[in-house]
Structure 1
Amino acid sequence: MNTKEKILSKALELFNEKGYNTVTTRHIAAELGISAGNLHYHFKHSEDIIKILFSQLVINMDELLNRMKKMEIKTLKDLYSFTFSTCEIFYSYRFIFVNFVDILKEISEIKLQYEEIHVNRKEEFQLIFSGFQKHNIFKKDIPDFLMHSLIEQIFIIADNWLTHNRLILKLEKEAAVWHYTLLQMNLFYPLLTEKQQQLYEKQYIQPQNV
C-alpha cells in the first residue's frame, strides 16, 4: 500500500469514527506518523480526500449493480444478497451518509455527481426489477406508480439508515447490516408472488423469530 492509499484508508477510518467535520488533514497525518507536508503533497485539502472516498463508494456500487444486471437467473436469494452487499458497502463509508447534507452542501462536485447517480440508479433499478418480474419473483401486474414509489422508498432508506442507526438503535456493524437489510427487504414483500412470499417468510422471517 503506497502513501496515498494509506492516507485514504486512515482518513476513511477516522471519518467513520469521528465524523468528517472534526477530522483535519493534520489529524490524519499524525495518525499515520507522517508530516502534514507529506500528506498535502498528495491531498491539499480534506475535501479532496472526501471526493475520492465518495468515488470509491460509487465504484463499489457500480460493480455490484453491474453484476446484478448481468445475472441470467434472478432469485429471492439474489435480491437478499444484493441488499445485504449494499448495506455492507454503505456501512464501510458510513460517514458520508451520516454527514450527507453537509457534504453535499459544502462540496458541489459531489452534489452534482449524486444528482446524476440518482437519475441513473432509478433506471438501473427499474431494469433489475423487470428481471425479477420476468423470473416470477415479483408479480407481473405491479402498477407503475407503486414501482416508482418503491424505488424512491429504497433511496430514502438506503441514504438514511446509517443516521437512524447512529441516533436510535446504535447497532454494531454485523447487527446493523443484518437489521437494515431485512428492513429494506420487507419493502419488497407486497410485490412478491405468493410462492415467493412463502419462501421469504420461511427463509428470512421465521428463523429470526425462533
Structure 2
Amino acid sequence: MKTKWLIKSTGRELFNTEGVMNVTLRDIASKLQRSYGNITYYYGTKEVLINELFDDMHQELNELQEISRDQNLLSYLLKLPEVSFEITRKYVFFTVDHNELKRNFPLFFTRMNELHNNRKAQWLGILNRLLAEGYLKSDLSEGDLQYIMFLSGCVRTAYFQLMDAAAYDQRDYLQTVNALLKPYLSKQGLGLYKLYLNSEL
C-alpha cells in the first residue's frame, strides 16, 4: 500500500505543477526511481490514476463537510470555503486542467460531471432551506438561487485558474467567495454573516 500511496502522491504533485497532459506514467516512475512496470502494476493507465485521485479528493471533501455540519446552516455554508480550500489546492489540477481533462478523458469527465451535478443539487437544497428559514431575501426565485450557485462556482473555479499557485491565500479566498452571498441575505442572514466575519478576524 505504501507504493500505491507514493504513486498517487507523486502523480498528484506532478499533475499540479506540470499540468495533467504534460505528465506520463513514465515521468512518475522516473520521479520515484521505480520501473515503469512497477507503476503500471498498480495503475495501468493515467486515467485510472486520475480516477482514483478524484475519488480521494471527494472522500476528503465529504469527511470535512460532515465535520462542519454540526452548526447553524448559514454558518455551515460560510465555513465550507475555508475547510475545502486546502483540499482544492491539494488537487488543483482538477480545476486548472478542466478543459484538458474534458478533451482527453471523456469517460472520466462524464463521471466527474455527474458527481458535480449531484453536489449542485445538494447546494440548491441548502439555498432553498436558507430561504425557507429566513436567511435569504424572501423575494428570491428559484432562478435567483440557481444564479447564486452558478456565480459561486464560477468564482471558485476562476480563483484557482487565474491566480498563480504561489499567491493562493485561504483568507482571501474565503472572503471572496462569501462576499458573493451578502447581497442576497435577509436582515437575519446579514446579522449572522457579520457575526461570522467578526469571529474570523
- For the aligned pair, the TM-score class normalised by the smaller chain equals 0.7 to 0.9
* TM alignment of 1:46-195, pairs within 5 A: 46-65=46-65, 71=69, 73-166=71-164, 170-172=166-168, 175=169, 177-195=170-188
Deviates more, 1:75-84 or 1:94-103: 75-84
Deviations 1:130-189 (A, max 9, x none): 3323444323332222111111112222333211112xx8514xx2x2212211111110
Q: Call closer, same or farther: CA 1:72–1:24 in 2, change over 3 Å.
A: closer
* TM alignment of 1:15-34, pairs within 5 A: 15-34=15-34
Deviates more, 1:25-34 or 1:102-111: 25-34
Contact 2:51/2:108, CA 8 A, preserved across alignment: yes
* Paired positions, count: 201
Contact 2:7/2:39, CA 8 A, preserved across alignment: yes
Q: Call closer, same or farther: CA 1:72–1:23 in 2, change over 3 Å.
A: closer
Q: Call closer, same or farther: CA 1:39–1:100 in 2, change over 3 Å.
A: same
Instruction: For structure 2, list consecutive stretches of 5 or more residues without a partner in the other structure.
Output: none
- TM-score, normalising length from structure 1? 0.81
Instruction: For structure 1, list consecutive stretches of 5 or more residues without a partner in the other structure.
Output: none
- TM-score, normalising length from structure 2? 0.85
**Cα shift at 1:41:** 0.9
Contact 2:43/2:49, CA 8 A, preserved across alignment: yes
Q: Distance in 2 between matches of 1:132 and 1:198?
A: 14
Q: Distance in 2 between matches of 1:84 and 1:182?
A: 9
Contact 1:75/1:137, CA 8 A, preserved across alignment: no
